[in-house]
Chains A and B, each alone.
Chain A
Amino acid sequence: MSSEPNAYSSHPPRMRETTMLDKVIANGGVMSIALFFVVCCFFFAVTTDAFLTAPNLLNIIRQSAPLLIVAAAMTFVITTGGIDLSVGSVLALTATLSAAALQAGIPWPLAIILMLALGGVVGLIQGYFIAYEKIPAFIVTLAGLSVIRGFALLITGGYSIPIEPTSPFVTIGRAWVLGIPAPALIAIVVLLAAYVVFNETHFGRYVTGVGANAEATRRAGVNTRRVILWVYILSGTAAAAAGVILSARLGSGSSNAGQGFELDVIAAVVLGGTSLFGGRGSLVGTILGALTVAVLANGLILSHLSPFFTPIVTGFIILVAIWLNFRLFKGGAKGR
């Protein structure tokens, strides 16, 4: 029994530097969606001829550009512990108003700036009620969803407003630059910017801080209300950009555009491992989540299956991916 003193001194330290495996487990949300993304791509690549071709892949990004852009902004919103249900309505309003503005003879660059500003103002108003009046984000943006869609319907009387196909405006949705569709290019730029802001700037850090412990972040001298206000301005502006891109691609502005769009966006963000409780967000996860939703929709059509399978499959994947996060990855992280 001479080993008794050694029982205290000789065992290796229990804390160690983070290993690769730790990082994989810690980023479980991203890992599980990456898995689903790869599986989906592999499945459609094998079962269909057309899926794994450059035009089709570019087409997927082109079509999912609005989703990717708004999901990037929504990642900020959800990481603060909030939610923005109004993005689909903002998309519809800006899509119709940009068509109306062009019809009224407003030059297209001005029309775009006006639309982005409108989205920002909508976000500002909602953000004010959430950040400064402390009304739950769900309530404020649920009201926004209804009111803003209502305005879009009121303005158009429910009809679509066409856009002149000769207008340079439509190039935003249709042009190809350096072999890449313009919407895809815009989405890539937005995603890169969002990634840098989220991970490398003070603002991004405070977004995570607000979601993790708002009181602690406030005590650290951060103006947390302004951070919250800004995430809604961001999501409103992003939704407006999505509306502009959508109307430019379709060549018309419809007040019925983007019905249920907010749910697709939230699904993409949550699939990517961002926690609805806040404090935990991943833009890489969001990109993978949005692309998975887009690949599913595209692949199911290419497989000659009914497109109505898309919501069914998407729903199942959300459930299984989140379940995997809780059971496999998070369980590993907490069980140490």
Chain B
Amino acid sequence: MTDTQISRVRMTGISKRYGALQSLDNASLNLMPGEVLGLVGDNGAGKSTISKVLSGAVIPDSGTIEIDGRPVSFTSPAEARAARIEMVYQDLALCDTIDVAGNLFLGREPKRHIAGVPMLDKKLMHERARDMLSNLGIVIPDTWMKVENLSGGQRQSIAIGRAASFDPSVLIMDEPTAALAVAEVEAVLELIRTVSRRGVSVILITHRLQDLFLVCDRIQVMYEGRNVAERRIEDTNIEDVVNLIVGRKFAARSAGHQASHNQAGHTQERGASA
């Protein structure tokens, strides 16, 4: 990693309190261009909150955010989007009864004018949707299909594809592989790799630790609103990460330096797929 590069995102000293609960306590986050950062921690560790701060949905009590070296402060999701930060929400934000192309273009449908009246340009919309999906390697047989008839993995792919189509510089994904079939997880992870190869920085929040080792460059562990550890993916293994998450970090730290064959296998796999 080149240390001279400017960080895509630098969040420092972020704190957020909800009543009696200190959700974030002097947390920080650093993300390089094109990097995939795995954000892990137990429920309530603050990983969702810090990603919401970055996406403008939560306004922090204190702390600074820099995007590409410039300080910013978001007061709404719209401002974060204007800074090219996209978030794929856990509940997908898709309309079930609208077709695939319609969902990809919801809110920005191409127009054509018939006798001066603006109408949906469905032909163009579906053409562009097909291009968009095939560029990202998403397999959907028919862009006219309603989203309700798609599988969980396909729906997730549509949601990610939609976010990616806004040409984001940062893409935040909250549990994109939760509740997916095995083969579908692989497709979604492949999609994350595709997106990051294009220079998009990705923040991946997940409880599926095995996914981290397939796509992430780096892992940041949070515990009760604080950063507790950061690991290059090649310097760690699942056991280590689990220990960091549950808080037995001192006992586990030494394990991170032992190169188990399991970990080497993961590194190889990554190398082959990249």
Contact = CB atoms under 8 A, between A and B. Distances in A.
Interface stretch (A15-23, A229-237, A258-266): A15-23
B90 interface: no
Interface in B13-50: none
A26 B146 contact: yes
B141 A205 contact: no
Contact of A201 (B95, B118, B145): B118
A209 interface: yes
B88 to A, nearest CB: 11
Q: A13, A17, A211, A212: which has the most chain B beta carbons within 10 Å?
A: A212
Contacts of B93: 213, 215-216, 219-220
Contact of B120 (A18, A202, A215, A220): A202
B75 interface: no
* Contact residues of A: prevailing secondary structure: helix
A105 interface: no
A133 interface: no
A200 interface: yes
Interface stretch (B105-113, B217-225, B258-266): B105-113
* Contact residues of B: prevailing secondary structure: loop
Interface string A199-226: 0111001001101110111011110000
Contacts of A279: 95-97
A208 B98 contact: yes
Given A16-B141, A17-B142, A200-B119, A221 B96 contact: no
A85 to B, nearest CB: 24
Nearest to B81: A221
Interface residues of B, number: 30
Contacts of A217: 95, 106-107
B256 interface: no
A215 B107 CA distance: 12
Nearest to A280: B97
Q: B91, B98, B118: which has the most chain A beta carbons within 10 Å?
A: B98
A110 to B, nearest CB: 27
Nearest to A17: B142
Contact of A17 (B97, B119, B141, B149): B141
Contacts of B89: 219
Interface string B48-89: 000000000000000000000000000001100000000001
Q: A202, A208, A220, A222: which has the most chain B beta carbons within 10 Å?
A: A220
Contact of A212 (B77, B98, B111): B98
A17 B96 CA distance: 18
A275 B59 CA distance: 38
Q: A16, A26, A216, A217: which has the most chain B beta carbons within 10 Å?
A: A216
B145 A216 contact: no
A219 B77 contact: yes
A217 B93 CA distance: 8
Contacts of B140: 15
A333 interface: yes
Interface in B81-138: 89, 91-98, 102, 106-109, 111, 117-120, 122
A205 B142 contact: no
B55 to A, nearest CB: 11
Contacts of A219: 77, 89, 93
Contacts of B77: 219
Nearest to A219: B93
B30 to A, nearest CB: 27
Contacts of B111: 202
A94 B78 CA distance: 43
Contacts of B141: 13, 15-17
A13 to B, nearest CB: 7
B94 to A, nearest CB: 6
21 contacts: A15-B139, A17-B141, A18-B145, A26-B146, A201-B120, A202-B111, A202-B118, A205-B109, A208-B95, A208-B98, A209-B95, A212-B98, A213-B93, A213-B95, A216-B106, A217-B107, A219-B93, A220-B106, A220-B107, A279-B95, A280-B97
Given A216-B93, A279-B97, 4 more contacts: A17-B141, A205-B120, A209-B98, A216-B106
Closest 9 CB pairs of A and B: A220-B107, A212-B95, A216-B93, A221-B107, A220-B106, A279-B97, A212-B97, A15-B141, A213-B95
Interface of B: 77-78, 89, 91-98, 102, 106-109, 111, 117-120, 122, 139-142, 144-146, 149
